[in-house]
Amino acid sequence: MPVPPAPLEVLETAARERAVTPDHVAGFVRGWIGGVVSDAQMAAWCAAADRWGLSDDALAALTNALLASGDRLELGRLGPVGDVVATASIGGAAGIVAAPLAAALGVTPAVLVEAAHGWFGGRLEPLAAVPGFACSPSLRSYLTGVRDGSCQTVATPERVAPAMARLVALAEQTGMLHGSPVMTALLAARTLAGGAPAVVIDAPYGSAALFDDARGARESIEAITAAADRWGRRVGWVMAPADAPRGRVVGPSLTMTAVAELLGGGGPADDRAVAMALAGRLAELLGTVGDGNGREAAGRALADGSALAAAEAWFAQAGADPNVLHDPESHLPSAPLRLEVVARRAGVVTAIDARSVGDAVRRLGAGRLHAAQVLDPGVGVEVLIGVGEPVDSGEPLAIVHARHQAMGDASVQAVAAAFTVGAGLESDTTFDVVTDRDARAS
């Protein structure tokens, strides 16, 4: 019987761009989970995997090792249960809206919501900003709600594949939060850990997203889908460009305000299109609407108020006041300062550097610079003028919601630098939302 390599030997092999076998990957990750391999060694291995890539089998081995670190849910016998996986973005309310919207289409949403990391906002913090909303109910309560067919969201329980959260924290603290093979394995593990028989993945690409371009997003999704196929899961996906903050707001309370606007039939067109595609595709996968009819059905649910009614029931069940969805500004935490970011010249906004906006929001206190940081839900940035829209000199481009004057002033400068205003005419920006079904049909 061959002797497994020591952790140092695995690292030396990876550093020389030699293929690391799936067995070696599995053993190395198990050693890290068990404390034999240090965080420093794990970070070095992740960096090597990022540089040289992972084979499909090695990626599957990493995914399976993460899943084996704890419990994994299995919800296939509880009816038309579906999950929405977010791959991370700067801004955007679509991933939250998709849950009650899918519920209005006959799906039982059972969604593990992720925390914010680095520049990227999570779905956990906006929900936690709602007074009374139980983000971490007991696992028994969560599963009972799923069994009863109600919309359920929960922060990933500690006993469910705990190595996932540990690896995300390591990636965050070592600057590896981007579309790498390790992040793909993490997303695959997250897709499987929730236990839903059908999952739809929100996969934006661009400067506001985990993936830099459509090719990287597609390759990662295909790897995740292959992993899910081996476990008998049905996986759909939605891809859309994100080269500016999604939904025009960044920050927990601002995001929840955007959620309320979308459920009320308004909100930015890009967020609305993504939410409809996510919920509609999930309903198609589970057969609660006809194949190809999901987006149209989701649009009707937003228009006739059934999505809002589903969200009200969800909030009430979670211990929150549903009136938050009708008057969010009266219920949600807010920052005392609202500082305008004004245009220095007239023209058309040709670009918004989403990472710069995300970094400003992180420094305001709505993103983490270290693992133990407690976020401020009231701060953030609200984009007023989007890409392709005209602006006059001195007109506000954005509003910074700040807790402290000095940090607010610094963020105003950072956000102003994120906007590029050029000469030209107002233009309609193309926003293509593509699902896995669309891709197969083309």
pLDDT for 378-429, tens place per residue? 999 999 999 999 999 999 999 999 999 999 999 999 999 999 999 866 666 6
**What pLDDT score does 425 carry?**
64
Take residue 110 and report the two structure tokens written for it: 């059972």
Instruction: Give the tens place of pLDDT for each residue, 125-166.
Output: 999 999 999 999 999 999 999 999 999 999 999 999 999 999
For the chain, the domains span 7-53, 81-329+435-441, 334-422
pLDDT, residue 430, reads 64
Would you state the pLDDT for residue 173?
Answer: 84
Residue 191's nearest CA partner among 84, 295, 76 is 84
Helices (H), 324-364: 328-331, 354-361
Q: Where are the alpha helices (DSSP H) in 198-343?
A: 214-230, 252-263, 269-286, 294-304, 306-317, 328-331
d(CA 60, CA 232): 15
pLDDT less than 70: residues of the chain: 1-3, 18-19, 371, 424-430
From CA 337, how far away is CA 441, in angstroms rounded?
49
Fold of 81-329+435-441: Pyrimidine Nucleoside Phosphorylase; Chain A, domain 2 (3.40.1030)
Same fold for the pair 81-329+435-441 and 334-422: no
How far apart (Å, rounded) are the C-alpha atoms in residues 9 and 279?
46
Which pLDDT value is given to residue 29? 94
According to DSSP, residue 120 is labeled B
**What is the structure's pLDDT at 429?**
61
Measured CA to CA, the distance from residue 25 to residue 20 in angstroms comes to 7
CATH dotted code for 334-422:
3.90.1170.30
- pLDDT value of residue 426: 63
